[in-house]
């Protein structure tokens, strides 16, 4: 069994940040679960375009308000506590945080923790994370 405390991990190298978001990786690839599990906070006023071409991702809103736009269809959905979205088509999307958005995210395949967003909004495939 694995038991971890967000409040301890947030001050370790399992917390990855850029200027507009921070993500605490509760589970990573080397935990052997087949998915990774992150608590990601997107800061109020920020907007993010991501395109996880090599991963499936589901995201559950714990707190905050914002919106997600599916860039293929142009549809926009409100994000608020209780709402989940799943990028089952590797959907390219824009997330807008009107307030700090705290999201619980699962990635399949799991991220290793070393990925950085590439120009196209993706993370590299699992077996080439360092590329
Ligand atoms: C909510 C969201 O887009 N999560 C993406 C994952 C986050 N950038 C991370 O943990 O790497």
Q: What is the pLDDT of residues 29-46, one digit of tens each?
A: 999 999 999 999 999 999
pLDDT (average), residues 77-106: 98
Q: What is residue 128's predicted lDDT score, i.e. its pLDDT?
A: 64
In the structure, what pLDDT confidence band is assigned to residue 124 with cuts at 50, 70 and 90?
confident
Q: What is residue 123's predicted lDDT score, i.e. its pLDDT?
A: 87
Atom of ligand 1 nearest to the CA of 101: 1
Q: pTM of the full predicted structure?
A: 0.92
Residue 39 tokens, joined: 């608590």
CA dist., res. 79 & res. 96, Å (int): 9
Describe the chain by its helix, strand, coil percentages, rounded to 5: 10, 40, 50
Residue count of the chain: 131
Helix ranges, the chain (H): 6-9
Of 6, 21, 67, 123, the one to substitute when testing ligand 1's pocket (max ligand atoms within 8 A of C-beta) is 21
Distance (Å) from CA 84 to ligand 1 centroid: 14
The rounded Cα 63 to chain-centroid distance in angstroms is: 14
CA dist., res. 12 & res. 25, Å (int): 10
């Amino acid at each position: 069994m694995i038991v971890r405390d967000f409040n301890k991990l947030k001050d370790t190298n399992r917390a990855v940040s850029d200027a507009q978001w921070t993500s605490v990786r509760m589970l990573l690839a080397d935990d052997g679960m087949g998915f990774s599990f992150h608590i990601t906070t997107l800061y109020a006023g920020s907007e993010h375009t991501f395109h996880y071409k090599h991963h499936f991702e589901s995201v559950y809103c714990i707190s905050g308000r914002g919106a997600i736009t599916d860039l293929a269809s142009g549809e926009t959905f409100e994000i608020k506590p209780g709402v989940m979205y799943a990028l089952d088509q590797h959907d390219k999307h824009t997330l807008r945080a009107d307030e700090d958005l705290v999201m619980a995210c699962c990635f399949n395949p799991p991220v290793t923790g070393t990925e950085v967003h590439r120009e196209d909004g993706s993370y590299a495939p699992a077996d080439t994370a360092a590329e």
